[in-house]
Amino acid sequence: MKNLFPYFLLIFPMFLFHSCSQTYTDKSGTEKGKPVAYSDTYKPHQFTLDNRREKIMKLAPQIRKMAEEFMEERHIPGIAYGIVIDDELVLASATGLLNLEDSVPATTKSAFRIASMTKSFTAMAILKLRDEGLLNLNDPVVAYIPEMLETQYLTSDSPPATIENLMTMTAGFPEDNPWGDRQLDEPDQMLIDLINEGIAFSNPPSYTFEYSNTGYAMLGLIISHVSGVPYQQYIKENILEPLGMNHTYWEFEDIGKENLAIGYRWEDDQWKLEPMLHDGSYGAMGGLITTIEDFSKYVSFHLSAWPPRSTPDDGPVKRSTLREMHTPQYPSLYSNAQDFEGEPCPMLSGYGYGLGIIRDCNGFTMVSHGGALPGFGSNYGFFPDYGIGIMAFGNLTYTRPFDRDAWIKLIFQDEELQPRTLPVSDILVERKDQIVDMIQHWDPEVEKNILADNFYLDRSRDHRMKEIKDILEKAGAIEGVDEISPENQLRGGFDLRTENGTITIFFTLSPEKDPKIQALYVSFGEKKQEEN
């Protein structure tokens, strides 16, 4: 695929571092108790040809070589990496050492600190509490952290910081890398004292995005307050254990020496030990320690949110809640972004709930986050339209653990993997056939049954008939009707292949129970004359 995806690392670096029915719950968490009615004809996106596993397994030697070269180039002691397809870790390996002193080799069972990749776990916990009706995202932070009562904002028109502000990095706190990294093992009282003494603001709340570890540490306090158990315990019991992540930890002392990755920095042409930080008040921003095998289960859970569908929904949080996490807030447009070929390809990027989201000019979407602490660097990205996730961990201070751009280019562009596509809905097929009949015969009874009441009010029947009849006369005999390309359940287009060219038809249906044609666009393109 040409023009597939821009260079993420150049323009969004912060994320590299760091049933038939169900009960409806609204944004405030209020359970309505009424089953949701849904269509039994909806067809979710699906793969036309699913050769993802075959193609990715073929790449194993090349990906290992890339990992080894990257490790050597960046002086990373050890790297573990993996690729997930749907609910399976299909490719996983490691290279180098997780402990230089004892020459312990890195494996896919090696436990690395993943730093800011922890943030999405925190966000998921907040949303779970929201879904259960225990908090509201637009609640002011002071309702849960009373020490915020005397907070001094920058302006008199500043709104109080809310839980959602903390989740989306829009509370107005200053970017606090690398200061926040060194607060990981501080006790809760340190965070309370910081708030009591007054947090410095760089912006008014709800004004703009600015990356804040402190905001996520505060979310940890809120989770503890609302749930009645320590933050770490809540994450373990409500997310890690339900997902079977039994080798994910908060405290490095709980991990055997044969599996614990030790952190290093590269300085003076040699590796130097970094202090291993205990878990503490800032754990909610970056405290988790996990393995490739365990983390793959978390990636699979996120991938399970796509596409929307009517199948059992029994994860730690609902699929719709996961998709909410994947939705960018306060997005920014990078109009000068380029693709892998150096061609212009504008990109939209934003921060969701504990996750970064990037969508390029071709609609290619990646959800991702990175993590970095003294001694460690980690990163993962997953691609909802493809059901694929990639991840890598390394034990070097603030490192990039892999060349993610190169991996993306190799997997998606070079191998030309195709995303899921939306099947055509039954109503679009029915209306398509009726449109073809209508524009040829103009039977008033047919028109009455398929056209919405606005159709001839927007443009008279005589004018529409004349325009389309002129096109049909110019086009000549109809030789074939192509399949519909749907945009969604109620909008799509198709071509009529004719003697003299192609008639292109695009139509949209109304929101009525029996959707009717509210807009119809017909155009003609002549065949190109063949050169002698």
pLDDT of residue 78 exceeding 80, the answer is yes
Query: CA–CA separation, 184 vs 213, rounded Å?
Result: 10
Query: CA–CA separation, 469 vs 447, rounded Å?
Result: 16
pLDDT tens digits, one per residue of 144-169: 999 999 999 999 999 999 999 999 99
- Single-letter residue type at 127: L
pLDDT of residue 451 exceeding 90, the answer is yes
CA 467 vs CA 82, 451, 461, 522: distances in Å: 57, 17, 10, 9
| Options 1.10.10.60, 3.40.640.10, 3.40.710.10, 2.160.10.10; CATH of 8-39+51-118+248-414 | 3.40.710.10
The pLDDT value recorded for residue 231 is: 97
Domain(s) of CATH 3.40.710.10: residues in the chain: 8-39+51-118+248-414
Residue of 140, 78, 123, 315 whose CA lies nearest to 220: 123
Q: 376 pairs with which residues across the strands?
A: 373
Contact assessment for residue 9 and residue 23, using Cβ atoms and an 8 Å cutoff:
no
CATH architecture of 128-227: Up-down Bundle (1.20)
Query: CA–CA separation, 249 vs 258, rounded Å?
Result: 15
Q: Is 285 helix (H, G, I), strand (E, B) or coil?
A: helix
Cis peptide before 307 (omega within 30 of 0): yes
Place of tokens 């990109």: 347
Domain(s) of CATH 3.10.450: residues in the chain: 426-526
The pLDDT value recorded for residue 466 is: 97
On the 0-12 / 13-18 / 19+ scale of CB atoms within 10 A, 311 is exposed
| Options 3.30.1050, 3.40.50, 3.10.450, 1.25.40; CATH of 426-526 | 3.10.450
pLDDT tens digits, one per residue of 217-275: 999 999 999 999 999 999 999 999 999 999 999 999 999 999 999 999 999 999 999 99
* pTM attached to this predicted model: 0.92
pLDDT grade for 514, boundaries at 50, 70 and 90: very high
Query: CA–CA separation, 299 vs 369, rounded Å?
Result: 11
Domain(s) of CATH 1.20.58: residues in the chain: 128-227
Query: CA–CA separation, 227 vs 127, rounded Å?
Result: 12
On the 0-12 / 13-18 / 19+ scale of CB atoms within 10 A, 281 is buried
